[in-house]
Chains A and B, each alone.
Chain A
């Protein structure tokens, strides 16, 4: 067990080291900050104006203000963060295996005394850590909300929103790793990952309406639906299972892909 973890850690450590000197990681971080911040600002001002208007209406007509600005801000913000993740995470995983294949370093990994599972876990945990680093600055947005807003935003929504975002990111990363293991080209890996993720994001629109069995299936497969639940503060077991099994499937397929790489060369 100890040996197993040491192998995973060796891979993890190498991946992190490479990320920290890679321009891609910084571009992704920069874009995440920029887009996230921009939308945060837009959303916040939008709801503030609406609540001001609502407040004025209330003064005129005596109805109580019905806009819960902090909750709605958080809700919209998570919506945006999910979309940004959809766009940016394919870039985090594009090189994970494709680059090792292109450079031939996969030959080093696969002839070293580490198992495919250790390689897959080490790399996955590293890409997930990178995602966590990307998310760190978003805590500041919520910090501002907590500090300045009245009423305080409900902590529940915040926590479930982050849980949803982590699961969503984890799922995209697992998908991206698998796709990266299928090619030697980072570009192809990124584009295909993005397209597949996008299709899964909006698959319910494509499907027939609710009611029919296929309709239900498409709805179930829609990432957006599951994710929206979390962003609204609803932690649903179905959604947990959905993301959990997606991650597991992605990692399993990556493992199979590494294994078959030996045979495909055959």
Chain B
């Protein structure tokens, strides 16, 4: 449904997107994950025909977005990063206008507007001026706008920004309902969002694709083992040595805590192994005091950080500490 080939975008000297290629199948929900400035918005703007690409081709529903722009645009619903709203219009008035410029036939307009309002739970506010709506409700109007012409392809740039937790759940629910009938690309920084709603994730960093996979595979593949996290008091050098001797341990990193002598230790182990009892045995065998032991499997968040940040001790530890 969407084919992106060798897409590159430069703003002057800045390379925003560099040689990106990917495909999205009909009915699939693809998540675009990346830190600020990764190139998510830029890619989406090229997909929707708002920006021209510097190099590469993009086809949406078989139409080249540069060459057959109108045909492609007719099939796309797009929620930009900043919802494109006219504050002085009412919700219905606005959606009616969008339906018109999207080319919805007059006979279907009313029912399409009503459907979009129902999907985004805006019924109560349909006659309200957009400027009187709260941020979250405006975001919903933005979503309704992207869906009002029932497009084959829906492109959502950070659809859940500014929503409260309840609304976030509703929007994710709504997006999930589009699976199968619509092809969806959404961008986000929020990791659980991707694992909850998307069939596939593209992790994009500094304009390049860092990884593409299903959320489950990505977690499994990159987990590369489990993490056991302990807090103890003992002798630092001996500790590392002792732990490394246990079969199945890959990596040990030690951090001394401020309150004299206590250490926080992260032990990375081979996948599929559970070394907790052996670690405990080793630590206690040396007569050290064990305060805490916890097994952690890497969350998508850590994978994301690993893929998108240079692996320094600090960041690794920061992410481990957060887990």
Contact = CB atoms under 8 A, between A and B. Distances in A.
Interface of A: 3, 6-7, 9-11, 13-14, 17-18, 21-22, 103-115, 262-263, 265-266
Contacts of A112: 73, 98, 101-102
6 contacts: A17-B97, A111-B49, A111-B78, A111-B80, A112-B101, A113-B74
B134 interface: no
Contacts of A109: 101
Contacts of A114: 101
Q: Is the interface of A mostly helix, strand, loop or mixed?
A: helix
Contacts of B74: 113
A111 B100 CA distance: 13
Given A13-B97, A113-B70, A107 B50 contact: yes
B103 interface: yes
Interface of B: 9-11, 45, 48-52, 54, 70-71, 73-74, 76, 78, 80, 82-89, 93, 97-98, 100-103, 145
Contact of B84 (A9, A22, A105): A105
Contact of B86 (A3, A9, A18): A18
A104 B102 contact: no
A102 B93 CA distance: 21
Given A17-B97, A266-B11, 12 more contacts: A7-B101, A7-B103, A14-B86, A17-B89, A106-B84, A109-B101, A110-B50, A111-B48, A111-B78, A113-B101, A113-B102, A262-B52
A200 to B, nearest CB: 32
A23 to B, nearest CB: 10
A11 B103 CA distance: 12
B70 A115 contact: yes
Nearest to A263: B52
Nearest to B54: A266
A10 B80 contact: no
B148 to A, nearest CB: 11
Contacts of B52: 262-263, 266
A262 B48 CA distance: 12
Contacts of B45: 107
Given A104-B82, A113-B74, A265 B51 contact: yes
A111 B73 contact: yes
Contacts of B93: 17
A39 B85 CA distance: 41
Nearest to B80: A107
Nearest to A10: B100
Contacts of B88: 18, 21-22
B89 A111 contact: no
A223 B101 CA distance: 37
A113 B61 CA distance: 15
A107 B101 contact: no
Nearest to B71: A113
Contacts of A106: 84
